[in-house]
Structures are given as structure tokens and as C-alpha cells.
Structure 1
């Protein structure tokens, strides 16, 4: 089944709602998925799994493909932190130091890919 792509206008509208503090759960989900989509476009691949429960996950970054079980390179964070990282409101280093991001594996450092500047 093909992955449903989020339209740029819909993604930007969801990000604007989040920035204005007026985001519904649906808008937050759209913003998270849109930013994950942008990350996938920027760094396609299958060696790092980025998880933002409960809204989405994506495999990115060139390298060895993972196919079974728990991936060796995993980044996990909450929706608010993911949006802040992807839009440049917080740095990778600050989010890690504050314990807002869990990253395991040798390829799980996204500092060179963030912010996304949607």
C-alpha cells in the first residue's frame, strides 16, 4: 500500500496551528507526520528509525538496511520535542541533555540533519 503523502499546504497549516498554540490532536499529528516526511526527503534510507509515538515513525539515513526486530539505531521523542527539533526551536544537543530524546546506536545522531526548515 502506498504511503499517504502530506500536502505542503496542509503541513504548513498544521505547523502554524502548533506555533500559535491552537493545535488540535489532529493538527499535531499532521505536523509531526509532515516533519517526518521532510526528514525522509532530506535523508532517505533505512538505517535509523525515528519514532514519535503515537503519531508516526520513519526509517531514514543511508546505511545498512534493518528488516527484523528492534532496529540498532533508534531515535524516539514526544511530539512537542520533535516539532521543536525539526523547526529549530531547540538543538539536538539541548534536547539530549534535557532527556527529551532517546537515541541509541552509532548512527542515531540527527544533529547534522536538524533543523529541517520547513
Structure 2
């Protein structure tokens, strides 16, 4: 959580951003377990989440991708899902590629 706070405070150190990104991806997998949606935050990580039909081979049908800074803002509630989509900060393909209602994952006081 300290890495998340650091990024929100403007720390752009690669290790800090990577730690915050991976921590929040892990939180997403705990809060919304499943294998229906793949969330990618290159270059630091990806996770599968949301219950529903599972894919087993090839490219998953529901993919969300964003950059690390946007991911931290989304996961912390500093950026709304719809705003990120409208600003093209997130790409979401597939009928179930939606994290609205799941985000934010954490809130900072």
C-alpha cells in the first residue's frame, strides 16, 4: 500500500510503480475472482478476474489494457472507469470487459 501511496503522491520510480501495479492487480484478483476478463498493465503485469465463462486457449475474449499510472488512479478511485474510457486511457474489448462497479479497489484517506 505504501507503493500505491507513493505513486499517488507523484513517485515515478520504476520499482515503486511496478510494486503498486502488481499489488493492485493482486487485489483485483482477490476482490473479483474468476477467469473471464484479463486485465493487462504492461510492462508490469496482468491478471484474470470476474466470474463467468472461462477461456482456455488463445487470446481471451474480454481484455482490458491500460498503463500503470492510469491503473493506479483507477484502482484508487482517483479516476472513474467511464472517464478513463472516454479519455482513451483504457482499452476494453469484449462484452464483459468492464470494471465499473468493481473499482475502486482501495481508498486512500
Name the TM-score, length of structure 2 as normaliser. 0.94
Structure 1 residue ranges without an equivalent (≥5): 1-11
- Does residue 39 in structure 1 map to residue 28 in structure 2? yes
Q: Deviations over 1:25-79 (max 9, x none)?
A: 0110000000001100000000000000000000000011111111000000000
- Aligned residue in 1 for 2:45: 56
Residue in structure 2 matching 1:73, options 62, 65, 68: 62
Give the superposition deviation at 1:21.
Answer: 1.4
**SS where residue 17 of structure 1 aligns?**
helix
Q: Is the 8 A contact 2:38 2:49 kept in 1?
A: yes
- Aligned residue in 2 for 1:92: 81
Matched length: 107
Over the residues paired in the alignment, what is the CA RMSD in angstroms? 0.9
| Runs of 4+, deviation exceeding 3 Å | none
